Structure 1
Amino acid sequence: MSKALIAQKRTRKKDEEEYGRVSFEEEVLRRFDHALLPRLRGVLETDKVIAFAIDYCHGGTLHSLRKKQTEKMFSDDTIRFYAVELVLALEYLHELGIVYRDLKPENVMIQENGHIMLVDFDLSKKLNPKSPHSLSQNSTPSPNSEKRSRKQQRLTRIYSFCNSGISPWDSDSEPALSTVDSVRRTESDSVEKSNSFVGTEEYVAPEILSGKGHGFSVDWWSYGILLYEMLYGTTPFKGLNRKETFYRILTKEPELTGEKTALRDLISRLLEKDPDRRISLEEIKGHDFFKGVKWDKVLQIARPPYIPTNEVENKVGFSKNDVEVFVNEVFFPTNDDDGVENREHNKKNDDFLIF
């Protein structure tokens, strides 16, 4: 991560929590123990960069892999494999109390063995279980909280349709990670919700745009967008600009052209705008699209749909300067051949985050 870029974000957004986000991501990475999530191998900090070392993924991203397909889309069987592994990865995160909030093909890497690795947790958030006091207060909010809520909702509606698409209000603070009971609860009853306006525009859930608070269900919405993109080669609510995209997310239904299949039914249920009616984890795993899947055996599959070739020469002895140069080229490319494409892609799919 470029410290210069972090400084730019702090200046632009007047956000003093940018370095706090880096620390939070490091703490999250240190906690992972799952075959589909990265392991933190080391941390390096210089005057210019902060770097987390994780295992190299030889197959690139799911985004780049889709682009290599003949019609830039996957078959149902291939979608099923990656869809199953994404369910397992998100299930693990949610059991830790972490909502991911940035699921998109660019954040799904392909490991050397062909299995996925979910990366990039800088937009993730720890959702704490509600305290008994907060549970008892749910039905009788204080006048001040009601007043602030009405004010926040009015401002959110105004700002969510402006070109920037970013609301300036949020009452969240980042809690430290702690042990979370992995027994599943009813989210709306037992877990605090976040009011952060955060995500990548084509994948962001309606409840984030409406400013009503969100929980783990936002990940299942983004999961539905990702499945749609793998099936059709595009996202379902893409507009000419951010404002139009947000409008379509809030008001339009996805166009699921083609014959009715289990996959299309699953996508439609994932892209339910009301999070309380959206399909849950248990319903997803029991859906017809995953009929016959042996969930406890998936990680043992030896022949995933795509096995990348190792084209990377093993090297040792990288200096801190090597890392700085590499990171600088990623964030501030100067090569016109692929730098322009990278800059346009990053601009088009810009993540947004306000606290």
Structure 2
Amino acid sequence: MAAVASSSTAATAVPASPNNAASTSSTTMLEPQSQPPSPYPDAAAPAASSVRSASSASTSSSSQADRSSTFSLDSSSAATPSSSPPRPHRASDVAWAPIRGRALGPRDFTLLRRVGAGDIGTVYLCRLESQAAAEGPAYAMKVVDRRALAKKGKLGRAAAEKRVLRRLDHPFLPTMFADFDAGTDFSCIVMEFCPGGDLHSLRHRMPGRRFPLASARFYAAEVLLALEYLHMMGIVYRDLKPENVLIRGDGHIMLTDFDLSLESTASPALEDARSAGGDRQGEDAPAPAPAPTCLPIPELQLLRLRRWKRRAAPRPRFVAEPVDARSSSFVGTHEYVAPEVARGGGHGAAVDWWAYGVFLYELIYGRTPFVGDSNEATLRNIVRRPLEFPAHGAGAGDRDSAAARDLIARLLDKDPRARLGSRRGAADVKAHGFFKGLNFALLRSSPPPVVPPPAAAALHRCDKAADVQQLFDHF
């Protein structure tokens, strides 16, 4: 499951996606196999097994704790080839400028080394051939072997991912710079290279293996904006986890891995906030009574009253939730699947808000809330066990911690109809008190908690390994 988001100045990374084969029953679980973690989401488990992908886009892979597996019983249709459209928000990006408007092929790139190999494809760190000697921007090239995927029955998933990538234009989502064929058997996608790794790796480097509350709020806010954009496009993500959140060179995030995504439709609209009603943290405070006036002229009093009403009126909310999206596919990562998926029933966009609650819980408390000794035990816990918080956690006892717990509890409502976000999506989540005082419009230009060091050491040109040379022979 691979994807990428954009950076205005830094070259970023492209993860690939590991989608694992599943059984024919929607309730049959696959046992994960042990294998080394890959720095890209696509560098995942073997075809017949499922493992949690260690999708770090960093150039050096670190040891990560094994999680429950990613699984899928989904099927998709083939994609229609098309060129990558312009990306307005990337107009001044140094990585976008050299390839903008060019017809590119495999011979236009120099492969530096393989950074991931897995079930869906192989990812290479590369540069443009014309700029390789001049230390130009780095890119990630994902190469898909159509013959291998056809044997596994996974061509549809790779095609779905490419369809989604072609549509994206958002600073916290991937930018597909180019896509082309190499011969008749290989399909290539060029995306950004992210030198900062992923949130799972970064969390393991934090004291206590958890983020301070302020850092967790920052990363959660950027992921929230990415989910809002996806839902606005009618895309249900279905695989949110820290491994799929990469750190760009400027420290901001990039949500990746889209081969499990569900494509639907949405009708974005502005909704009067007064009609929302009933949300404890999302309600606008009641407007104060108008101040008394001593103006003697009725016309001036009326003008002042109109101005006051305009200022006091609650701002409309942007609502973009794919409410008609429905699927009965058994897909996701075990620790993050919603109860409706764990039961084997149908699901909609509300599964993303459940996963968002698990994601926030893990950032703050260093583990997921329902993990068990096995995948089956984890699914039973998700369906039956009530949500519990650690007695001692990050900022336990203060107001911000209480707001975080309330947000998580409302996101992890086992009833998808009552779950926060299920009705008005990101509009309700953004209005929660946990994000009070945060300016979502300025997040992209706000300083991130961690800025990765320059990745120059990882971008050196190395001798072509056997696998790289073999790939060139195919080209």
Fold conserved (TM > 0.5)? yes
Root-mean-square deviation (CA), in Å? 3.0
Structure index of larger Rg: 2
SS of equivalent residue, structure 2 residue 165: helix
> CA separation in 1, counterparts of 2:145 and 2:204?
31
Among 406, 412, 429, the residue aligned to 1:265? 406
Give the CA deviation at 1:34: 0.4
Letter in 2 for 1:81: F
- 5+ residue gaps, structure 2, are 1-120, 123-143, 268-317, 392-396
SS of equivalent residue, structure 2 residue 254: strand
Give the CA deviation at 1:306: 0.3
Question: Residue 178 of structure 2 corresponds to which residue in structure 1?
Answer: 42
Question: Residue 309 of structure 1 corresponds to which residue in structure 2?
Answer: 453
Sort the Cα spacing of 1:112 and 1:95 in 2 relative to 1 into closer, same or farther, 3 A. Answer: same
Question: Residue 190 of structure 2 corresponds to which residue in structure 1?
Answer: 53
> CA separation in 2, counterparts of 1:30 and 1:318?
33
Letter in 1 for 2:439: K
Sort the Cα spacing of 1:318 and 1:63 in 2 relative to 1 into closer, same or farther, 3 A. Answer: same
> CA separation in 2, counterparts of 1:30 and 1:88?
19
Among 406, 419, 443, the residue aligned to 1:298? 443
- Whether the 8 Å contact between 2:234 and 2:321 is mirrored in structure 1 is no
Number of aligned residue pairs: 267
Alignment of 1:85-234 (within 5 A): 85-128=222-265, 184=319, 191-234=324-367
> CA separation in 2, counterparts of 1:53 and 1:270?
35
Letter in 1 for 2:381: R
With 205-214 and 238-247 compared, the bigger mean Cα shift is at 205-214
- Whether the 8 Å contact between 2:213 and 2:364 is mirrored in structure 1 is yes
> CA separation in 2, counterparts of 1:57 and 1:200?
23
TM-score, length-scaled by structure 2: 0.52
Give the CA deviation at 1:257: 2.5
What percentage of residue pairs aligned between the two structures are identical? 42
Normalized per residue, the structure richer in strand is: 2
Which is bigger in relative contact order (C-alpha 8 A, separation at least 6)?
1
Letter in 2 for 1:247: R
Letter in 1 for 2:407: L
Give the CA deviation at 1:8: 7.5
Give the CA deviation at 1:322: 5.9
TM-score, length-scaled by structure 1: 0.68
Letter in 1 for 2:415: D
Letter in 2 for 1:199: G
SS of equivalent residue, structure 1 residue 43: strand
Letter in 1 for 2:382: I
> CA separation in 1, counterparts of 2:147 and 2:244?
19
Pair 1:81-2:218 in alignment:
yes
Sort the Cα spacing of 1:5 and 1:57 in 2 relative to 1 into closer, same or farther, 3 A. Answer: same
Pair 1:255-2:255 in alignment:
no
> CA separation in 2, counterparts of 1:273 and 1:91?
21
With 272-281 and 92-101 compared, the bigger mean Cα shift is at 272-281
Give the CA deviation at 1:283: 2.0
Sort the Cα spacing of 1:83 and 1:9 in 2 relative to 1 into closer, same or farther, 3 A. Answer: farther
